[in-house]
Structure 1
Amino acid sequence: MNPQDVLRTTFGFPDFRGVQRQVVDRVLAGERTLAVMPTGAGKSLTYQLPATMMEGTCVVVSPLIALMHDQLRAAEAVGIRAATLTSVDTNRAETIERFRGGELDLLYVAPERASNEAFRNLLRAAPLALFAIDEAHCVSEWGHDFRPDYRLLRPLMDAFPDVPRLALTATADAHTRDDILNQLGIPRDGMIVAGFDRPNIRYAISPRDNMTRQVADFIAGQTGPGIVYAQTRKAVETLAEKLSGNGRPVLPYHAGLDPDVRRRNQAAFVESEDMVIVATVAFGMGIDKPDVRFVAHAGLPKSIEAYYQETGRAGRDGDPAVAQLFWGADDFARARQRIGEVESDRQPGERARLTALGALVETAGCRRAILLRHFGETPPERCGNCDNCLETPKSIDASVTAQKYLSAVFRTGQTFGAGYVESVLTGQSSERSLMNGHESLSVWGIVEGDEAALLKPVGRALLLRDALRTNPHGGLEFGPGARPILKGEAGLDLVLPPKRERRRKGSGAVANPVGDPLFEALRDKRRTLAQEAAVPPYVIFHDSVLREMAATRPATLAELSRIPGIGARKLAAYGEAFLEAIREAVDA
């Protein structure tokens, strides 16, 4: 069979997408390849499909056990012979025997095994088809998610020079891509870059004022499962508790939870069709759930690369999804403090990452364009699917207000917080202002009327641009960006986002047929079959497959087989059950 036939019979798709065919052809030709493909572009197919055609086993290096097990279930569901070899597997002896006997298409392992001489000896005793390195950016210190164990993969692969190697990542800028090629021994002409655009994701970014209310309002406008990222374990638990009781299940996830609780919460989310999980950013890299409909950041991610990867956990099935970020100026202040604590040779790169994030949250232009330009692309000026493109924000010159703000910080001694500085500027008398003698200052009460409404966003912008910093006691003091603004050598343009009305529930929803009894019957059937097979519903079929069933109403297995996403194995396993569900719903 040729790759096109395998694509149709095993995976149920009529055509390859994007650069998939290019990557598959290189792998089948025995070439070394780095594939940079956005999440949701079908990276796993580029090694799974060749693995079914090549002699021997494809060894897949994947960073997290939970991710391996999700990928294992998906592979087995289409009839691929697959197994994992991890510390939690109880059938290790059986897996090793199958591997040695050439009875596996795929074997998933963690990078830590690369340093294990026993594992290297096992590889020598088994027929090898391919090394596939998932999340390959983890090999680079320039990447946002460096894993030292990935540095051991090249010596392992070099011991088997005739076995082709395929590195895969969705998140790598030009510098990181060069490092991956070098660290994994892949020639420069072996790199295939598919682009970074995720057009189905709508990006939106808002300043933080009341985090819990903002997140709750956002979730109220969404349907389907979603992830809310908080920055600390305490913030995860607090936010999860406050979001509970709003009409849908909410669970926390972080490394400090009891391992059994953490596993149960993750399993519940993976299997759910409407759950919200509040988590630290480690969550998501370990799941392969395609139907996440939204990702919300309750705080600033650590870099544009991290933001791209974390938001990329939404909409992997290609259906519409939303990525919402809420940020505060104190996020940037804390980030600068952390940069000051890292090794000096890393600080310039970390400052550049923070500056790039500042440009993303402050822009009045297209968010997607900034993201794509960061990864070296030349996108259109407007995407039509981010908050700024959908509703253009107002931009004003707030340089004079910024000078007043900085003057007030200076004249009050660079020791007071933002609230007090703003009260001085607006002339709000208090016991403290009288005691400090600040009511006689030249800056007392110099801001009034509409300008007063600018003080909070101006203060936020000054902190973001490092014109102001916070001391350990929360007081404001000058940063290196203060002097140019005070002297009029630099201005401050302020972006004022439009007032957002609270969206009614479901306004960000996928275009599933609402109220269609046939579609709901198909979802019920999928849920029952998933429970019987102990797999998440999406492993049976994605929503897009059910929508096509509801629209075309196939009456025979032959008609059903023509729907994209239904391969031979799934047709045999579930075809009759879904045809029966269609007949019953139509006849009802």
Structure 2
Amino acid sequence: MPEISDSQLYKNLKEYFGYSEFRQQQKEIITAIFKGNDNLVIMPTGGGKSICYQLPATLLNGLTLVISPLIALMKDQVDGLRANGIGAAFINSSQAAEDQHAIFNAILTNEIKLLYVAPESLSQLEGILNQTTLSLIAIDEAHCISAWGHDFRPAYTQLGFLKNRFPHTPIIALTATADKATREDISKQLNLNHPTLHLSSFDRPNLSLSVRPGIDRVKKILEFVDDHPNDSGIIYCLSRKTTENLAEKLDSAGFKAKAYHAGLGHHVREQVQNEFINDQLQIVCATVAFGMGIDKSNVRWVIHYNLPKNIEGYYQEIGRAGRDGVPSETILFHSYADVVQLQQFATKSGNTEVQLAKLDRMQQYADALSCRRKVLLSYFGELPEKDCGNCDVCKHPPTFFDGTILAQKALSTIARVKQNEPLATIIDILRGAQNATILDKGFTQISTYGIGNDVSWKHWQQYIIQLINQGAIEIAFHEKNHLKLTPIAKKILFEKQTVNLAKIIEKAALKTAAKKEISVKKSTDLFERLRLLRLKLSREEEIPAYQIFSDASLKEMEQARPMTDDEFIQISGVGKKKMQDYGHDFISEIIAFHKEKNTSKKAKKEPTYITSANLFKNGLSIADIVLERKIAETTILSHLCKAYEMDKSIALEKLIDPVDLKAIEKAKTALENPNALRPYFEYFKEEMPYSTIRIGLAILSN
């Protein structure tokens, strides 16, 4: 291997990738490669794994071979490298023979420095590998080789031959998540020669962590997305049917959302992924089949509709948010129904004991009443001293109270039904319900019947879950989820052991706090203009917007406001080629913004909804106004409804079918709460879009 100086490393880092400094452990890993060492790199998603082999490739004489699991991942990385001025290509079985021949010729003339290939397609490279110098082998998503990992792929098991065939070529194996057993298995199966282990911190401080009860999930998601109208996000679901149902509900509510799962045709999945990558689709509702290795840096939030089956998978999935380092949100909805389903999946797996143990750790994270980041990082062997301040528990620390009486009521009820009923029935007894189950089984005669009717159903559910977490109650999953008492329960009932329970934080308070945070995060006008310029250029060049510049780079431009080439090249993420390709456009936009800001400081700004209304009155269609104002259609319609309250001459009736208007008028007289939108949406069986309902109600308010 050639000797490389620090000055050469930093020169190529800035020229090709636009950075002036290395991130954690990158330089150490690259230095080890140039020493000829094999390397095993465990670095979190968004930590900068790719540069660890892409930068050396720009300095090595021969070819860097990259093993990657998915075609979409390969294409994404190759497009990004080319945008940075680095020769790269990928090989797969769908390519025409002449296209592959052209790639092989480019390798022989040293025009291509990195070649990406899936393990299944390695056999197609026999000829070219005999004719070129293989300087480095990179194996991405290396956990796929291990049955102990969370995403085992049998095709990866053939990769052990690479070290035997190319014994003097260093191998770098990379993954975002791998526990000790998985790390050892990766090294063994790849035949790595005393690999140097690089274990980076798993902490992603820009990601907020939040866990919420799995009650009214759809409603909560709609509220969340409504508060993040311009942000890209992923919602992970356990079943294919849930992805489709949720995508339909989001779409009906006016958001651009689609489902993604393995049951869809290849063309459909590819289209959804491409639309999401290119910012044509805001939300993807997906099974875990979506997102592996995609470098889309501007995903601002990730929601888990269901509890994941293990912490490794959960960590990798939330890592797809905020890869650019910009603050991003993650939310996990948690219910015991998910636990039951996942336990059933685990019992059908090849290593049941391991999978159940990992599920237990995932459940412990979801149930935590202390800093969640500490719980998460401890799984990977990190023990931070301080709480993170960026999870729901840190932001809204629980207030505990003496819940002994409540606990005794619940435990006594479980005892009186002989520990043969599930959680829901116990709560119904406590609250004095009169449903079929309670009446048929004669539970109205139990002495604790109705003893807890002063506590809401949802609060009882949370208190009993806390008792489960404290070890006073167990769930017998193999006995229809019946609740069982433990020795701790007997101490509470008969030995005066006290119980501290956490007060339930009301949803309204959480939402207020969340909205306060969102208002702080809102971008200035300049960031939005730079974002739209980036989107325009990406459409013209048919590449993802984030491959031009990340949100982090745009935010730095927003703050620094560079107006010369020398100032612009100092922005993180601006390399030589991107300076040449985009510098003029972005500098011109910043200068124009600066001039407009100075000349309009004294001008009174017209309310934004009036601007939309005037454009509509002047004959522009809704689609035209969206293009003119560059804001969402749902926002435009909201503007028109608001303006209509003061100016009835606005022809809102053009935007609604008379049949729909008549139906809304009928619903208005039938509903108990005709002032809220959600009752109408449910009245029409979620088939009439919110936008149509808003327009109809605005007209009927006259």
Whether TM-score is above 0.5 comes out as yes
Taking the aligned partners of 1:188 and 1:492, their CA distance within structure 2 comes to: 52
Say whether the 8 Å CA contact 1:320–1:510 is kept in structure 2.
Answer: no
Taking the aligned partners of 1:326 and 1:390, their CA distance within structure 2 comes to: 18
Q: Report 1:141-540 matches (<5 A).
A: 141-187=147-193, 190-222=196-228, 223-272=230-279, 275-343=282-350, 346-395=351-400, 401=406, 404-405=409-410, 408-409=413-414, 411-412=416-417, 416-430=421-435, 432-450=437-455, 454-460=459-465, 467-470=474-477, 475-478=480-483, 482-488=485-491, 494-501=501-508, 502-503=511-512, 509=518, 514-516=523-525, 518-540=526-548
* CA shift in 2, pair 1:57/1:328, >3 Å: same
- Is 1:83–2:89 an aligned residue pair? yes
- Is 1:26–2:32 an aligned residue pair? yes
Q: Which ranges in structure 1 are unaligned for 5 or more consecutive residues?
A: none
Say whether the 8 Å CA contact 2:534–2:549 is kept in structure 1.
Answer: yes
Q: Which residue of 2 aligns with 1:561?
A: 569
Q: Report 1:63-74 matches (<5 A).
A: 63-74=69-80
Taking the aligned partners of 1:451 and 1:283, their CA distance within structure 2 comes to: 38
Say whether the 8 Å CA contact 2:138–2:171 is kept in structure 1.
Answer: yes
Say whether the 8 Å CA contact 1:139–1:183 is kept in structure 2.
Answer: yes
Taking the aligned partners of 1:205 and 1:368, their CA distance within structure 2 comes to: 12
Once the two structures are overlaid, the 10-residue window that deviates more, 191-200 or 502-511, is 502-511
- Give the structure with the higher percent helix: 2
Pairs aligned (count): 579
Taking the aligned partners of 1:354 and 1:487, their CA distance within structure 2 comes to: 28
Deviations 1:346-383 (A, max 9, x none): 23222221221121111110000011111001112411
- SS of residue in 1 equivalent to 2:10: helix
Taking the aligned partners of 2:392 and 2:514, their CA distance within structure 1 comes to: 18
- What is the aligned-residue RMSD (CA, Å)? 2.8
Once the two structures are overlaid, the 10-residue window that deviates more, 576-585 or 283-292, is 576-585
- SS of residue in 2 equivalent to 1:376: coil
Identify which of 55, 71, 75 aligns with 1:49: 55
Deviation at 1:340, TM superposition (A): 2.5
Q: Which amino acid aligns with 2:545?
A: P
- SS of residue in 1 equivalent to 2:449: coil
Q: Report 1:128-139 matches (<5 A).
A: 128-139=134-145
Say whether the 8 Å CA contact 1:405–1:425 is kept in structure 2.
Answer: yes
Q: Which ranges in structure 2 are unaligned for 5 or more consecutive residues?
A: 1-6, 597-702
Taking the aligned partners of 1:277 and 1:426, their CA distance within structure 2 comes to: 39
Q: Which amino acid aligns with 2:347?
A: G
Say whether the 8 Å CA contact 1:319–1:510 is kept in structure 2.
Answer: no
Say whether the 8 Å CA contact 1:226–1:274 is kept in structure 2.
Answer: no
Deviations 1:76-128 (A, max 9, x none): 011110000012334222112223443311001112234x3x53443222221
Taking the aligned partners of 2:293 and 2:42, their CA distance within structure 1 comes to: 19
- SS of residue in 1 equivalent to 2:209: strand
Deviation at 1:521, TM superposition (A): 3.2
Deviation at 1:50, TM superposition (A): 0.4
Taking the aligned partners of 2:436 and 2:569, their CA distance within structure 1 comes to: 77
Taking the aligned partners of 1:122 and 1:290, their CA distance within structure 2 comes to: 33
The TM-score, its normalising length taken from structure 2, stands at 0.77
* CA shift in 2, pair 1:452/1:75, >3 Å: closer
Deviation at 1:579, TM superposition (A): 2.6
Once the two structures are overlaid, the 10-residue window that deviates more, 574-583 or 56-65, is 574-583
- SS of residue in 2 equivalent to 1:191: strand
Say whether the 8 Å CA contact 1:211–1:326 is kept in structure 2.
Answer: yes
Deviation at 1:389, TM superposition (A): 0.7
Which structure has more relative contact order (CA 8 Å, sep 6+)? It is 1
* CA shift in 2, pair 1:440/1:292, >3 Å: same
Deviation at 1:274, TM superposition (A): 7.2
Once the two structures are overlaid, the 10-residue window that deviates more, 547-556 or 565-574, is 547-556
Deviation at 1:452, TM superposition (A): 6.7
Once the two structures are overlaid, the 10-residue window that deviates more, 352-361 or 543-552, is 543-552
Deviation at 1:268, TM superposition (A): 1.2
Q: Which amino acid aligns with 1:487?
A: K
Deviation at 1:407, TM superposition (A): 5.4
Work out which of the two has the higher radius of gyration on C-alpha atoms and give 1 or 2: 2
Say whether the 8 Å CA contact 1:401–1:451 is kept in structure 2.
Answer: no
Taking the aligned partners of 2:108 and 2:504, their CA distance within structure 1 comes to: 61
* CA shift in 2, pair 1:447/1:526, >3 Å: closer
Taking the aligned partners of 1:399 and 1:484, their CA distance within structure 2 comes to: 16
Deviation at 1:564, TM superposition (A): 1.7
Q: Which amino acid aligns with 1:514?
A: S
Say whether the 8 Å CA contact 1:56–1:104 is kept in structure 2.
Answer: no
Q: Which residue of 2 aligns with 1:541?
A: 549
Q: Which amino acid aligns with 1:383?
A: C
Percent identical pairs in the alignment equals 37
Taking the aligned partners of 1:104 and 1:524, their CA distance within structure 2 comes to: 32
Say whether the 8 Å CA contact 2:422–2:483 is kept in structure 1.
Answer: no
Q: Which amino acid aligns with 1:271?
A: N
Once the two structures are overlaid, the 10-residue window that deviates more, 318-327 or 557-566, is 557-566
Say whether the 8 Å CA contact 1:271–1:535 is kept in structure 2.
Answer: yes
* CA shift in 2, pair 1:52/1:424, >3 Å: same
Q: Which residue of 1 aligns with 2:592?
A: 584
Deviation at 1:38, TM superposition (A): 1.5
Taking the aligned partners of 1:477 and 1:248, their CA distance within structure 2 comes to: 40
Deviation at 1:201, TM superposition (A): 0.3
Deviation at 1:420, TM superposition (A): 3.2
Deviation at 1:570, TM superposition (A): 0.9
